[in-house]
Each structure stands twice: as C-alpha cells, then as structure tokens.
Amino acid sequence: MRVRRETIDAYILILPLLALLGVFILYPVVSNIYYSFTKWPGFGPAQWTGLKNYHRLFTDKKFWAALRNTGLLILYIPIGVLVPLLLSAIMREGLKGWTIFKAILYLPNVLGYVILGILFNVFFRDHGPLNTFLRDAGLEQLAVNWIGTTKTAIHMVGLLFVVWSKIGFGCIYFLAAMSSIDNQLYDAARIDGAGWWRIFYQITIPSIRFAVEFWVVLSFIEVFARAFGFLFSFTYGGPGFSTWTLEFGIYILGFKNSQMGYGSSWAVILLLFCAIIAVMQIRLLRKAES
C-alpha cells in the first residue's frame, strides 16, 4: 500500500508538468501534422487536401534550396567543433591573459543572434565598412559583395553563424571538459617525448570524447532549429533563396504568405530531422552512462 501511495503521489506531482507538455508541445505537434494535410491560411476552417502539400513540397525548388543550404551549413560543423577545441587546448596550456580572451570570445553569446545579424549585415554589405576599407586601401579585387551574391551568402552564414558565433561558448564548454583530465597523463606524455599535436590527438580528444560528440549534436540542433533569428536579420533568406532553411521557409510560407497548411508540411519534415537528432542525443547520453 505504501509503494502504491508513493506512486500515486508521484503522478500527482508531475501532473501539472504533463498538462503543460500536452498543451504546449503535444497538441501543437499533432495539430501541425493535421494541418499539413490541409489548405489553411491560418484562420477559419481548414480544407482537407490529403497529400497535395507533400507532393507540392517535393517538387518545390524553394524546398530543395532550403535542404541544400542546410546541408552546406552542416559542412561547417566540423570547423565549428575544431576551432573552439583547439583554442581551448591552447588556453589550457596557460596562455597569458586567457581569461580576457575567454571573455572576448564569449561576447557573441551575450549579444544574441538578431543583434549579430544586424551588425554583420551592415559590416559585410557591398558598401559597408569592410569593402569601403578594402577599396580605400587599393584592394578592390577583395571587395566582394559578401551577402549580395548567391555564391557567397550561404558561406558567410556558415562561417559567422555555425563557426564564429559558437567559439566563445564552445571554448568555455571544452575548457570545463578538459579540467577533468588528469595532468599526470600530460606529464607522462611529455616525458616520453610527445609533442603538442600528439598530446592533443591522443590524450585530450579521447579524454573528452563525449563532450565533443555532444557538441556535434548541439551544432546540428543549432543549424536545423535555431538559425532563424540570425538569418532574418542578416540576409532575410536572400539573395533569392540562397540562404533559405527549413525554419525560415516555414516562417515565410506560413506567416508571410498565409499558406499555413503548406508551411506545416515543411514543419513536419523539420520535425523528422529534429527527431533524428534527438535519437542521436539519447544514444550519446546512454552511451555515457554505460
């Protein structure tokens, strides 16, 4: 009886949380899946259309452009992992003024993606400060229209959003992980004549392997589900569809073009990608516990 009473009390305690999850997570997900099979402008009754939205989706150039752009951003994830990892290893060696460097590198996380997008939009536009400086310095050949051409815009997003904006938090994250490594391992490696790179690859990385894997998963989440604020203020998806992603397309189709039903089909595809990432994260956590 006592065990049963404790079980009932436990369910009573988590009931408010379950209610919030149902209202704010489960219901929106289920309703979004339903609306993805309808023609719905966002208000009024929805008209059932079956798989019409998905047929349109897989023949839509904007959708394939969004997938292509997301794939290009994913290619920057290894750089976004390696750069803060290297910087953390260097700062761990006792770099003078490393606390100041850490504060400067963390600054992007304080400003936020929207502010960063606005600042970089001004800085990298065709007649912005960077190109003005290059032209005045006689380096006109380097004054590229960084965010005004389809070939360079998505790569600027990759470098600034996936790599640069994550350096500060990444350094703090990896430094915290490296603090658990026994210094005797480094001392023994140096006595054996191992150089810095060998120590880095054979001691540091294996010792914080779970932290690196978790950071990779977190980077995937950022690319798929947290890039909207930066894209909205930096390029607004342009030029053309060159910097569209799935979540940006959902905003444009659903809230700007009043095609909420069609936008919901994009959201379902994004949900599938996020579900795959969640499975990866769960497996990493189970692996760490075992």
Does 224 score more than 90 pLDDT?
yes
Q: Residue 87 contacts by C-beta under 8 Å, 6 or more apart in sequence? A: 105, 167, 171
The C-alpha atoms of residue 28 and residue 264 are separated, in whole angstroms, by 11
E strands of the chain, at which residues? Answer: 38-39, 47-48
| CATH label of the domain that carries residue 124 | 1.10.3720.10
Is 7 within a domain? Answer: no
Could you tell me the pTM of the whole model?
0.90
Question: Averaged over 88-113, what is the pLDDT?
Answer: 75
**β-bridge partners, 239:** none
Give residues with Cβ within 8 angstroms of 234, minimum separation 6. Answer: 116, 117, 118, 120, 121, 147, 156, 157, 160, 161, 243
Angle between helices 27-35 and 260-289 (to 10 degrees): 140
Cα–Cα dist 246/18, whole Å: 29
Q: Which domain holds residue 153?
A: 53-289
Whether residue 217 is contained in a domain is answered as yes
pLDDT tens readout for residues 156-192 = 999 999 999 988 889 889 988 998 888 898 889 888 8
Is residue 36 assigned to a domain? no
| Cα 157 from Cα 70, distance rounded (Å) | 11
In a domain, 123, yes or no: yes
When mean pLDDT is compared across 26-30, 79-83, 102-106, the lowest value belongs to 102-106
Q: Is residue 282 part of a domain?
A: yes
- Higher local confidence (pLDDT), 94 or 1: 94
Q: How many separate domains does the chain show?
A: 1
pLDDT for position 288? 67
pLDDT digits (tens, 9 = 90+) for 274-284: 999 888 888 87
**Residues paired with 39 in a beta bridge:** 47
Inside any domain, residue 99: yes
Helix (H, G, I), strand (E, B) or coil at 60: coil
Q: Is the pLDDT of residue 132 over 60?
A: yes
Residue 54 CA: distances (Å) to CA of 73, 184, 224, 225: 24, 58, 20, 21
Asked whether residue 14 is assigned to any structural domain, the reply reads no
| 129 within some domain | yes
